[in-house]
Amino acid sequence: MKTILVSLSIVAFLFSCESGNHVDFSKNVETVKELVNLHALEDADGISALFHDDLEWQGPAYGSGQLNKADHMAAIVMYHDMFDNLKYTANNWLPGVNAETGQLDGSVRSYGVWTGTHTATETPLELTSYHTFDFKDGKIITGGDYFDLGGMVASFQVTPETDQADAVE
């Protein structure tokens, strides 16, 4: 009986070690939360400091390749210019895994909603999105933005039909 209890205790211990988050996950979530807060402040320099110099980023545009740090920062500044009151509300902060091993690796995933106001048209933004953040040396090294960029841009376009409808009202 003693042998069975010891064996069960060892198995339970091993499973409990496997089910916890990676040791860096909580710290990395705080880094991503800082990134989100810096977006709201439109602090491009602060955001840039969170990215590794060798950053590779997958943008949301159809057919876009990997962006380096300079190109991704240019996109971030464009968003800051396009929107006022930009805010990300996370639905969750999820642990990611290494694609090759399937093991927790400290990376962060998040589903959430971006809100704000398009500066040129004063159209409100409400954009559901998914983001990934992988880390190296405490900085974001790879990641991506996944949302309907085309639909978002189209929602701010002024068309002849829109102009006619506005004229009738």
Q: How many domains does the chain have?
A: 1
Count of Cβ atoms closer than 10 Å to residue 91 Cβ = 11
Q: Which residue would you say has higher pLDDT here, 165 or 65?
A: 65
Has residue 61 been placed in a domain? Answer: yes
Does residue 21 register a pLDDT over 90? no
* Cα–Cα distance for residue pair 73/79, rounded to 1 Å: 10
* Cα–Cα distance for residue pair 79/115, rounded to 1 Å: 12
Has residue 67 been placed in a domain? Answer: yes
Has residue 9 been placed in a domain? Answer: no
Has residue 2 been placed in a domain? Answer: no
Has residue 146 been placed in a domain? Answer: yes
Does residue 17 register a pLDDT over 50? no
3-state secondary structure of 125: strand
End-to-end CA gap in the chain:
83
* Cα–Cα distance for residue pair 127/169, rounded to 1 Å: 28
Has residue 144 been placed in a domain? Answer: yes
Q: Quick one: average pLDDT of 129-153?
A: 96
φ and ψ at 82, to 5 degrees? -80, -25
For 50-106, what is each residue's pLDDT tens digit?
Answer: 999 999 999 999 988 899 999 999 999 999 999 999 999 999 999 999 989 999 999
Q: What is the CATH number of the domain that holds 104?
A: 3.10.450.50
